[in-house]
Amino acid sequence: MKPYIVGADLGGTTVKIGLFTVDELLEKWEIPTRTEENGKYILSDIAESILKELKERKISKEEVQGVGIDVPGAVLPDGTVNRAVNLGWGVLKAGPVLSELLGGIPVEVANDANAAALGEMWKGGGQGFHDVMMVTLGTGVGGGVILNGRIRTGAFGAAGEIGHMCMNPKETAVCGCGKKGCLEQYTSANGVARCAKKFLVENPKAKTTLRGIPNISSKDVFDGAKAGDYVCHQLVDEFGEMLGHGLANIASVIDPEIFVIGGGLSKAGQIVIDATKKFYLQYTFHASRETKFALASLGNDAGMYGCVKMVIDAASDQVKEDPEE
């Protein structure tokens, strides 16, 4: 194992890059993501930034085990990016391209939600476990499935896309994906806010502190519930029932050791787990009642950590395949 590893979490606005040893983060920095001209500059910007950092630290390419990169889009099992609309990318073999720009340093590629899940397993809320279902409650709902310590990519790069599980076939509101009744319509930060606003319209006489707030956010709903607002408490229960039901169905497929809950909404804290677990226990098959729940702890660094872990795992696989090296 060579001493240095780089992780790069590629988002629609910035790229978070971290230089790591096998055990710890040495330094992290950000560069803008240039999405013009179908994102053609993104990978060369990343390569340039990494090579500059290595040069400043007098680290040679031969001392770098590899670079892990995650992208906001589907990644096929062979590492090919299959559309990343926020970057302007279509089908792109990002690994080989970036590796060449880096003068041959090996590159591993993953979807961003999957990398975050792996990062949380390695150094975050899922530390000590190998079978982790990570749930990201942000603008939408994302997910990452880690089984036996490795990312489950899926035959079409769609494993962990749990935000689009249909939870309510009778829903009339349309999800961003075009379907109706998706998990993220109820349990994302936007979804919780949407449900709260809908409730206020449909129940004009219900008294709640939410009435005084101009543009209700999920934080307002959770804050209200913590402060004892009855309507907010009901809304948190509805959130918990949808998510608990969804996670129970997931448990009946993969039966993970732990659910790790992250994303902006999870900053509300323990109330998110309490509300979810209460209904999870109602919906889950008896054998999966002991599944653990934890909050994510790496925040926006999770993807970067996951990228580094991918490189470590790839190196370890290489050793197993070529034991004489």
State yes or no: residue 238 binds a copy of itself (CB under 8 A). no
Element (H, E) at 294: strand 292-295
State yes or no: residue 48 binds a copy of itself (CB under 8 A). no
State yes or no: residue 249 binds a copy of itself (CB under 8 A). yes
**Is the Cβ of residue 228 or residue 323 nearer to a copy of itself in the bound state?**
323
From 45-53, 209-217, 230-238, 278-286, give the range in contact with a copy of itself by CB under 8 A: 278-286
**Is the Cβ of residue 112 or residue 220 nearer to a copy of itself in the bound state?**
112
**Is the Cβ of residue 220 or residue 241 nearer to a copy of itself in the bound state?**
241
**Is the Cβ of residue 178 or residue 212 nearer to a copy of itself in the bound state?**
178
Tokens of 20: 């790591």
- List the beta bridge partners of residue 133: 145, 259
Residue from 211, 287, 299, 316 in contact with a copy of itself (CB under 8 A): 287
For a copy of itself, the binding residues in 198-217 under the rule CB under 8 A are none
Residue 284 has, within 13 A of its CA and on its CB side, a CA count of 25
The least CB distance from residue 279 to a copy of itself, in Å, is 10
Residue from 22, 51, 213, 254 in contact with a copy of itself (CB under 8 A): 254
Helix (H, G, I), strand (E, B) or coil at 86: coil
d(CA 10, CA 67): 12
Residue from 70, 131, 184, 220 in contact with a copy of itself (CB under 8 A): 131
Helix (H, G, I), strand (E, B) or coil at 204: coil
**Is the Cβ of residue 8 or residue 167 nearer to a copy of itself in the bound state?**
167
Residue from 17, 151, 231, 250 in contact with a copy of itself (CB under 8 A): 250
**Amino acid sitting at position 108:** E
State yes or no: residue 74 binds a copy of itself (CB under 8 A). yes
Residue from 146, 288, 293, 302 in contact with a copy of itself (CB under 8 A): 288
**Amino acid sitting at position 206:** A
State yes or no: residue 147 binds a copy of itself (CB under 8 A). yes
State yes or no: residue 156 binds a copy of itself (CB under 8 A). yes
DSSP assignment of 235-259 equals HHHHHHHHHHHHHHHHHHHH--SEE
State yes or no: residue 145 binds a copy of itself (CB under 8 A). yes
The least CB distance from residue 269 to a copy of itself, in Å, is 25
> Which residues make Cβ contacts (< 8 Å) with residue 240, sequence separation at least 6?
274, 275, 276, 277, 278, 279
**Is the Cβ of residue 105 or residue 294 nearer to a copy of itself in the bound state?**
294
**Is the Cβ of residue 20 or residue 279 nearer to a copy of itself in the bound state?**
279
Eight-state DSSP code of residue 312: H
State yes or no: residue 113 binds a copy of itself (CB under 8 A). no
Handedness of CA 316, 152, 113, 218 (dihedral sign): negative
The least CB distance from residue 170 to a copy of itself, in Å, is 10
Q: Which of 39, 45, 41 is nearest to 8 (CA)?
A: 45
**Is the Cβ of residue 175 or residue 268 nearer to a copy of itself in the bound state?**
175
For 264, counting Cβ atoms within 10 Å of its Cβ (0-12 exposed, 13-18 middle, 19+ buried), the class is middle
Entry field: residues in the chain: 325
DSSP assignment of 106-167 equals -EEEEEHHHHHHHHHHHHSTTTT-SSEEEEEESSSEEEEEEETTEE---TTS-TT-GGG-BS
Site of interaction with a copy of itself (CB under 8 A): 74, 131, 143, 145, 147, 152-162, 164-166, 169, 177-179, 241, 245, 248-257, 283, 285-288, 290-291, 320, 323
